[in-house]
Amino acid sequence: MLHRGIKFVHAALLAFSAVLAFLFLRSLDEDWVLGHSAVVWVTDSDGSASGSQVAREVAEFAESHRATIAREVPDLKDPYGRRHLYLAPGGPRSGWLGDGYPAFNRSYRTDVHPIAELGQRDPRGFYYVFGSDQAAASLTRTFSDLGLRAAVHHPHSAAELVPVYSGSALYRSFFVVALAIVTMTGAGVLLNATAYGVLRLQGMSFGRILLRDMRQLAVFWAIAFAAVAAGTLLLLGLYNGLAWVGRFALLALGIAAALSLVALAAHAAMLWLTFQTDVLRALKGELPARAASLSAYLVRIPALLLALSIATAVVLAGQDVMARQESRDAYAKIGDTTSIGLNGSLASDTALHALDVKVGRWLRQADKGGEIIVAGHRDLQRSAPRTGVPQGDLLIVNESFLAEQPVLDAAGRRHKPTAAAPDQVRLLIPTSLDRYADRLEDLVPGLLNPSDPDKISPAQVETLRSKEGQRVFTYNPRGQSHADENPGADESFVTDPVIIVFPDGSPFLSDKGYTAYASQASVVFHDPDDVTAGIKKHHLETYVTGMSPVGQNAALELRDLVGDFRLQLFNLAVAVAVLLITGVGVCIVHSRKNSQAIFARHISGWRFTATHRTVLALEGLLAVLLAVWVPFQVWQQNRDLERYEALGIPPPRAPIEITGLDLGVTGGLVAIEVSAVLLALVAFHRRIVKEGATES
């Protein structure tokens, strides 16, 4: 009979495949419309064809090429939860015009409209092709004939999916579960070594035993597959009415097949390992110690490094979740304050210049009218490389920001928003940075207006002190300060920032500066109606594609982070389980191989550490490897920064420092790893001594 641990592995991998396929497809449905064969991205236009003309040409193209073409447009008022598809029917998915889009992710809405309703909308953006690859290439040529620059992309291909998901929790989940499958399958086979010894005594060969196991596994697999499939279909039916069930099934089966191959390879390898001992020793459950231990460490070492990476991610994600929960009150107080989203399909220099001019001028007028708050957030040291300023936060704000958010001076009094002259810039420096005041003053013109720093004279910069230790609200959970070190970190509040305050609507901040901060969600409107009115008045539909309440953005960030945190916790639990199983496995192999020697040494008065010095030495080396891994990685990455400095190039980021978090996570994993082995070794040692004493 198969060991029950092996059956559990295959049941678990089927269930995990369904869960991973669900999470992946739900994420994919939110990023891209499902079912397309290609995406044509139009990034530039010479203006020779109007939006309505392009829409007519697309409709004719779809009919003549028997392909369906859909233009995606984000919803202006809910860009993070809703999108619009303007469909030109002619091939697959034409029925969506009547039936609607079958959303897999029920929390993300997709509305379908005829392409004629696009009207005069700017043609730049994403066009989904539901048809052949030849149709996508032909559509690109059609766009070129209309004076548009377009390129074909395949966002659902492996080449484009892997870079996007390679650092995600879903990606880590697959590999950590694969490691767990190898570990548990190997353990199940090795624990069944005695049974395999009996089969060998009966004359069965390696191939016959493996085939016997596969037949038994096939019966169990069929039952487990039917149970998992039935449960999955029931849950999917309740969740989304079985939308895209075929695509989901293919994805889940693909994951299950890959993990099953891993399990079968591990099964065959461990079974072969049991054949490396003679039959009589196999009947006693003995194993080839060297090969078995080597196999355990081949899994144990990558599992340790993976667990360290996941544990760090879990702690950081947990800290971010707590920080975002603490900032919810601040977002609740700002009510309907709204940020805007800009068109990401404007890629040419001409289009970007037009964006800066039109949107920048509108934002400047809105600033003069008191409609907006500017809260640009930057990293101080990266904004001023090679100037000697310390690491910290820099805020570039307008006077309206000070009217909404209190910033205290050194005496504890609030800096008044109207205290500066119309042609004056205020530089607020925490008292702890007094010695850098002169350097920071010199940096102000270049930081506010990099393209024309001479617009601000030194006499127009007034330096004031701010109270040390105060936290300032930034209106933006996705801050730009330390994104490289922790891209998920909540930066809704910053402590002791350097603040540059410019008058509302002042030319000190360029048009490009306004649009740059708007693209980072760092320009917010008090009233969302001012956004819709401004877009209509200044005809900015081409440039402003979305608007969303800042509080809603923060809530969505928190929701996504909580989901990621839960998945990372699962990954960590599996990785730690792998460490425990492999640690116990090493002790089992060592104890079975050396049981007589262990008993003899015990009655001869040997110390525990001397009796098991080989295992303890290997585990000590492993603990040292784990302990030095993070410092080595930090040293290696900081060494790369020295190359930039040697070439006189500003480094792309600040040097990495080893934190208490790094040491705590590393120390915790070392403690778990060492404790598990010691406890298992003590338990097996006592068992051997007890059994030896009984036999005596």
pLDDT in tens, 576-590: 888 888 788 778 777
**Residue 482: per-residue pLDDT:** 44
Q: How confident is the model at residue 649 (pLDDT cuts 50, 70, 90)?
A: low
The residue ranking higher by pLDDT, 378 or 690, is: 378
**Residue 653: per-residue pLDDT:** 58
Question: Of all residues in the chain, what percent carry a pLDDT higher than 70?
Answer: 92
- 188-212: b or e for each residue (b if 16 or more CB lie within 10 Å)? bbbbbbebbbebbeeeeeeeebbee
Taking CA atoms, 157 is separated from 93, 103, 111, 161, 375, in Å, by 20, 20, 25, 6, 38
Q: Which of 14-28, 266-280, 482-496 shows the lowest per-residue confidence on average (mean pLDDT)?
A: 482-496
- Residue 429: φ, ψ to 5°: -120, 130
| Beta strands 82-88; 109-114: pairing state | parallel
Could you tell me which of 180, 10, 173 has the C-alpha nearest to residue 576?
180
- pLDDT (mean) for 665-682: 83
- Which domains are assigned to the chain? 33-154 (3.30.1240), 288-324+558-695 (no CATH), 344-542 (no CATH)
Tell me the three state secondary structure of residue 249.
Answer: helix
What does the pLDDT look like over 498-512, one tens digit per residue? 999 999 998 899 899
Residue 326 predicted with pLDDT over 80: no
Residue 618 predicted with pLDDT over 90: no
The residue ranking higher by pLDDT, 342 or 614, is: 342
What does pLDDT average to over the chain?
85
Residue 432 predicted with pLDDT over 90: no
Q: Which of 528-537, 607-616, 663-672 shows the lowest per-residue confidence on average (mean pLDDT)?
A: 663-672
Give 311: exposed, middle or buried? Use CB within 10 Å, 0-12, 13-18, 19+: buried
Could you tell me which of 666, 682, 521 has the C-alpha nearest to residue 611?
682
**Residue 486: per-residue pLDDT:** 52
Residue 28 predicted with pLDDT over 70: yes
| Residue 434 identity | D
Residue 369 predicted with pLDDT over 80: yes
- pLDDT (mean) for 316-333: 81
**Residue 484: per-residue pLDDT:** 46
Residue 236 predicted with pLDDT over 90: yes
**Residue 483: per-residue pLDDT:** 45
**Residue 480: per-residue pLDDT:** 52
The residue ranking higher by pLDDT, 325 or 204, is: 204
**If residue 13 lies in a helix (H) or strand (E), which one and from where to where?**
helix 4-31
The residue ranking higher by pLDDT, 425 or 485, is: 425
- pLDDT (mean) for 16-20: 94
**Residue 420: per-residue pLDDT:** 62
| CB distance 652 to 625 below 8 Å | no
Residue 286 predicted with pLDDT over 80: no
Cβ atoms < 10 Å from Cβ of 496: 18
**If residue 472 lies in a helix (H) or strand (E), which one and from where to where?**
strand 471-473
The residue ranking higher by pLDDT, 132 or 490, is: 132
* Listed ranges 142-146, 435-439, 662-666; the one with the highest mean pLDDT: 142-146
**Residue 695: per-residue pLDDT:** 59
- 137-171: b or e for each residue (b if 16 or more CB lie within 10 Å)? ebbbebbeebebbbebeebbeeeebeeeeeeebeb
| Beta strands 125-130; 38-45: pairing state | antiparallel
- pLDDT (mean) for 403-419: 87
The encoded tokens of residue 57 equal 């040409």
The encoded tokens of residue 316 equal 């950081």
Question: The tokens 């509040």 sit on which residue?
Answer: 493
Helix intervals (H) in 489-594: 511-519, 528-538, 550-593
Tell me the three state secondary structure of residue 398.
Answer: strand
- pLDDT (mean) for 186-203: 80
Residue 421 predicted with pLDDT over 70: no
